[in-house]
Amino acid sequence: MTAMKLDTTRWIPIADRLPDDSDRVLLFTPYQVMGDDHTCIGNRESIADCMTCINRKRVQIFTHWMPLPLPPEIRHIAGI
């Protein structure tokens, strides 16, 4: 079985696909539930559990996600 390569530059609608259970991902919300910031890091559980009320209807806060980029290559840093 081969792993599916994800495009880390495009937002994935949660209606199309959810991240794997163990993956930490970048999440997007169109709602101002976090002030002016519309993104945060979370996981599949965050998508399922975070809700808000819009026009008296409970909706999921997050609408899109994308994989986190790989961390930068760290070379020797003095003092660490």
Residue 37 CB-half CA count within 13 A: 6
For residues 66 and 12, what is the distance between their CA atoms, to the nearest angstrom?
6
pLDDT number for residue 2 = 46
pTM here is 0.77
Read off φ and ψ for residue 31, nearest 5 degrees.
Answer: -90, 155
Residues of the chain with pLDDT below 50 are: 1-2
Q: Locate all alpha helices (DSSP H) within the chain, ordered by sequence.
A: 44-49
Judged by phi (left if over 0) then psi (alpha if -120 to 50, else beta), residue 35 lies in left
pLDDT number for residue 70 = 87
Residue for token digits 């998508």? Answer: 47
